[in-house]
C-alpha cells in the first residue's frame, strides 16, 4: 500500500492544475507501524475522556498551506495552527463526551487541487479511567533490559533500513537480539519467581547508528522498534500480564529524544528543542565540543540561592550530544508529550509509568504532565527517577510534600536512591558506632521526611549502576541479607533481571554493557539456562531459590504490603526489623556475627511475639520466640507468624 500511495503522487505531479486528486493513507493501525508520507500523531484517539481536547500533529510537505475539513458528530475543529516550518499543522480539536467511535476522514485541500485524506479513528475505551490500577507497595517489579533478556524471534534481529545493523553478543554496546517475544515466552518464569509487575526499559524505535539497544534515545515516540517486535506484541504482552494479575509499567522519556528522531530533519518550531539555534548552526559537524550539555546540577530545582545561569544550564542543556533536549516550554511540545503518555496508557492498558531523568525537564511542565495523567487516572501510578542520595531532594518530588517554594509535583512515587545506598553501605561495612547497620537504620529513619514512604520505589541496583552482587564483593551471604531487608521494607520493590542468579559486572565495574549482560538461557545454544536451572552454579541456585521463596511469600503478605513497621537499633552486629498487620507479623534479622550468637529477646517485647511459634519463610523450619534465639551463622533470617508452609 505504501508503494501504491507514492506512485499516485508521482503520477499526479504531471497535471495537478487540471484534476483533483484524493489520496487515502493506510488505516490508523497500519499507520502506526509504517513510515507514511503523511504523518498524523497521535495516529488515533478515544472517546470518553474527562479532558475533551485533542491536538494533532500533522506532517507533510507544505501542509501548512492546506485547508482542513471534516464532518464527524461530536468533534469540532477549534483551531488550525501553522508552525515555523511549512510542513506542519497542529490541529486543536474538541471531542464531546457523547461522541461515538468511528472513522473520521480528515481532508487536507491544497490550492493546486491536491486533496489528501486521512482516516482518523476514534475508538471506544476498553475500560473507565478509575479501573486503571497502578503499582503499589504490594508489588515487586522485575526490571528488564529487553535486548539482553531473551531472543524469542531471531527473524527481527536484522531489519533492513535501520541505521544499526546486525547483532554481536560479544560487544556490550551492540544489539544482542532480545525482544518482546522473548519476554512473552518467559512470563511463566517471571510469574513463578513471584514478581507481580514488569518494567522493560524503552522499546520504542531507537534508530541510532550505535548503542541503540538501551532504548533511551527514542526516534519515534509512537512506534515500536521493529527489532524488538510490533505494537501487537506489546499488546499481547500486556494482555498476558493482566491475565496473570500482573502489572505492566512503561519506561518513558519526557526530557529528550534521539538525534535521529524524524523531526530533527525538519523541526516544526524555532524552539522545539533547547539550544536549537546552536544545533542547526553546527548540524553538519555535530560533536561533543559544540554540544551545549546540561551541567547536571539537579539541586537547582530546589536551591533557593541557585543562580539563573545554573538553573538554565541544568534545564536547557542536552543530556548528551546524541539526545536533543526537548523544550517543554513550547506549548505544542508540552501537549504532544502529555498526549503521548495517555495514548500509551490506553493502547497498552498500562498500570504505571517510570519517567526517566525526572528533574531535568521544566519542573512546572512535569507537574502539569503528572497532574494531567493522575486527574484522568486517579488510581494509576508514576515513579520518577531522581538519582540523588539526599532524602530531601528525593522527597521534594513526591506528591503531598509541603515544599517551601509551593511546588506541587502530583508525582506519587519517586525512586529511593538514598535507601539503596544505605542498604549497601550497611551490609558492606564493618560494625561500629557510625558504620555498618546503623547506616541502614538511620536511612530508614529518614522516612519522616517523606509525605508517603510506602509509595517510594526501592531497589538494590538497576540498569545504570553496578550489579548488587558486584557492589557486595560477590558475597552470597551479604547479597541475601540485602535482599531480605529490601523485601521487608515499607516500600514498592524493584529487582533488576538476573539479581536472582547473581549476575555481576565485576570484571569491569560500572560498565553499562556488562551491567546489562545477557540473561543465560535467553538464546538458543546457551550452555547455562537460568529459566530451567540447567548448569547454574550452586550459589546461583541458592540465590534463585531464596528469592523465589521470599517473593512468593511476599505476594500474599498483608504485613509486608501495608503493615506497621518497627525496627530496633543495631546491637552486637544484629539488626531487627518487623512488619505487622492484624495477626500476621514478619521479623527480619540481619546478623554479621561469624560465630554462633545468642540474641536475647526481652528488648523486642513490644512486637508481641513472646511464646509464639514462627516459621522461617525460606527453610520452613519453626522456632518458638521466647527468651533467647540462637543465631547459628552470619546472614539473614525471615520469620513469620503465618505457619503455612510454602513449596520449596
Catalytic residues: 356, 385
CB 55 within 8 A of CB 24: no
User: Strand, helix or coil at 429?
Assistant: coil
In sequence order, what DSSP letters do the residues of 118-186 get, joined into one string? EEEEEEEPSS-GGG-PPP-TT-EEEEE-GGGT--S-GGGSS-TT-SS----TTSTTS-----HHHHHHT
List the one residue out of 263, 255, 295 whose CA is nearest residue 279: 263
Of the CA atoms within 13 Å of residue 402, those in its CB half-sphere come to: 1
CA distance 460 to 469: 9
User: Strand, helix or coil at 95?
Assistant: strand
In sequence order, what DSSP letters do the residues of 10-31 get, joined into one string? HHHGGGTTTS-EEEEPPPHHHH
- C-beta atoms surrounding 549 within 10 Å: 20
List the one residue out of 226, 228, 208 whose CA is nearest residue 145: 228
CA distance 43 to 235: 16
User: Strand, helix or coil at 403?
Assistant: coil
- C-beta atoms surrounding 307 within 10 Å: 11
CA distance 138 to 236: 24
Q: At what angle do helices 331-348 and 363-376 cross, to 10 degrees?
A: 40
CB 648 within 8 A of CB 545: yes
- C-beta atoms surrounding 169 within 10 Å: 16
Match 513449596 to its residue by C-alpha cell: 647
In sequence order, what DSSP letters do the residues of 275-296 get, joined into one string? THHHHHHHGGG--TTT--B---
CA distance 296 to 319: 8
CA distance 648 to 271: 59
The residues pairing with 415 across neighbouring beta strands, listed in sequence order, are: 457
Does 42 sit behind a cis peptide bond, omega within 30 degrees of 0 on the bond before it? Answer: yes
Contacts of 257 by beta carbon, 8 Å cutoff, 6+ apart: 217, 218, 219, 221, 264, 323, 324, 326
CA distance 517 to 166: 18
CA distance 457 to 417: 9
All three cell numbers of 474, joined, read: 560477590
- The helix (run of H) or strand (run of E) holding residue 420 is helix 417-428
CA distance 435 to 425: 8
Amino acid at each position: 500500500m505504501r508503494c501504491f500511495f507514492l506512485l499516485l503522487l508521482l503520477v499526479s505531479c504531471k497535471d495537478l492544475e487540471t484534476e483533483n486528486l484524493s489520496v487515502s493513507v493506510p488505516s490508523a493501525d497500519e499507520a502506526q507501524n509504517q513510515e507514511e508520507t503523511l504523518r498524523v500523531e497521535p495516529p488515533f484517539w478515544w472517546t470518553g475522556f474527562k479532558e475533551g481536547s485533542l491536538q494533532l500533529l500533522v506532517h507533510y510537505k507544505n501542509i501548512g498551506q492546506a485547508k482542513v475539513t471534516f464532518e464527524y458528530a461530536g468533534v469540532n475543529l477549534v483551531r488550525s495552527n501553522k508552525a515555523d516550518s511549512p510542513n506542519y499543522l497542529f490541529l486543536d480539536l474538541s471531542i464531546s463526551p457523547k461522541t461515538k467511535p468511528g472513522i473520521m476522514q480528515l481532508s487536507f485541500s491544497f490550492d493546486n487541487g491536491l486533496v489528501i485524506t486521512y482516516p482518523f479513528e476514534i475508538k471506544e475505551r476498553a475500560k473507565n479511567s478509575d479501573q486503571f490500577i497502578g503499582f503499589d507497595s504490594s508489588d515487586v517489579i522485575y526490571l528488564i533490559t529487553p535486548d539482553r533478556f531473551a531472543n524469542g524471534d531471531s527473524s527481527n534481529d536484522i531489519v533492513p533500513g535501520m541505521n544499526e545493523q546486525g547483532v554481536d553478543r560479544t560487544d556490550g554496546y551492540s544489539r544482542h537480539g532480545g525482544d518482546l517475544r522473548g519476554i512473552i515466552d518467559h512470563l511463566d518464569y517471571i510469574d513463578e519467581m513471584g514478581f507481580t509487575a514488569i518494567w522493560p526499559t524503552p522499546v520504542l524505535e531507537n534508530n541510532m547508528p550505535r548503542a541503540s539497544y538501551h532504548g533511551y534515545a527514542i526516534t519515534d515516540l509512537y512506534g515500536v522498534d521493529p527489532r524488538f517486535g510490533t505494537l501487537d506484541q506489546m499488546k499481547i504482552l500486556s494482555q498476558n500480564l493482566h491475565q496473570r494479575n500482573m502489572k505492566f509499567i512503561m519506561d518513558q522519556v519526557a526530557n529528550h529524544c534521539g538525534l535521529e528522531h524524524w523531526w530533527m530533519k525538519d523541526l516544526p518550531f524555532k524552539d522545539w528543542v533547547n539550544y536549537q539555534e546552536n544545533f542547526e548552526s553546527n548540524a553538519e559537524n555535530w560533536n561533543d565540543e559544540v554540544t551545549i550539555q546540561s551541567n547536571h546540577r539537579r539541586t537547582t530545582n530546589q536551591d533557593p540561592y541557585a543562580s539563573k545561569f545554573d538553573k538554565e544550564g541544568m534545564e536547557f542543556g542536552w543530556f548528551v550530544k546524541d539526545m536533543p533536549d526537548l523544550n517543554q516550554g513550547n506549548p505544542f511540545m508540552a501537549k504532544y508529550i502529555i498526549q503521548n503518555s495517555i495514548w500509551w496508557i490506553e493502547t497498552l492498558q498500562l498500570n504505571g509509568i517510570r519517567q526517566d531523568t525526572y528533574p531535568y525537564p521544566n519542573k512546572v511542565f512535569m507537574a502539569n504532565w503528572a497532574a494531567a495523567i493522575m486527574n484522568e487516572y486517579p488510581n494509576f501510578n508514576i515513579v520518577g527517577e531522581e538519582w540523588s542520595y539526599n532524602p530531601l531532594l528525593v522527597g521534594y518530588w513526591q506528591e503531598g510534600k509541603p515544599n517551601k517554594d509551593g511546588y506541587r509535583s502530583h508525582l506519587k512515587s519517586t525512586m529511593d536512591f538514598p535507601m539503596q545506598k544505605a542498604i549497601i553501605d550497611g551490609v558492606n561495612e564493618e560494625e561500629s558506632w557510625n558504620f555498618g547497620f546503623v547506616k541502614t537504620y538511620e536511612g530508614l529513619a529518614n522516612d519522616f521526611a517523606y509525605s508517603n514512604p510506602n509509595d517510594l520505589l526501592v531497589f538494590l541496583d538497576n540498569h545504570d549502576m553496578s550489579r548488587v552482587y558486584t557492589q557486595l564483593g560477590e558475597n552470597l551471604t551479604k547479597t541475601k541479607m540485602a535482599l531480605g531487608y529490601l523485601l521487608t521494607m515499607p516500600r514498592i520493590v524493584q529487582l533488576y533481571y538476573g539479581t536472582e542468579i547473581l549476575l555481576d559486572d565485576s570484571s569491569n565495574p560500572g560498565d553499562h554493557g556488562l551491567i546489562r549482560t545477557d540473561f543465560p538461557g535467553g538464546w538458543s545454544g546457551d550452555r547455562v539456562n537460568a529459566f530451567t536451572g540447567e548448569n547454574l552454579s550452586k550459589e546461583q541456585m541458592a540465590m534463585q531459590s531464596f528469592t523465589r521463596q521470599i517473593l512468593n511469600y511476599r505476594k500474599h503478605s498483608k504485613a509486608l504490603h501495608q503493615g506497621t513497621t518497627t525496627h530496633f537499633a543495631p546491637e552486637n552486629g544484629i539488626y531487627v526489623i518487623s512488619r505487622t498487620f492484624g495477626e500476621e507479623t514478619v521479623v527480619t534479622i540481619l546478623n554479621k556475627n561469624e560465630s554462633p550468637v545468642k540474641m536475647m529477646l526481652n528488648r523486642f517485647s513490644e512486637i508481641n511475639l513472646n511464646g509464639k511459634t514462627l516459621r522461617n519463610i525460606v527453610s520452613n523450619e519453626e522456632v518458638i520466640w521466647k527468651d533467647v534465639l540462637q543465631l547459628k551463622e552470619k546472614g539473614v533470617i525471615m520469620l513469620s507468624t503465618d505457619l503455612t508452609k510454602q513449596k520449596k
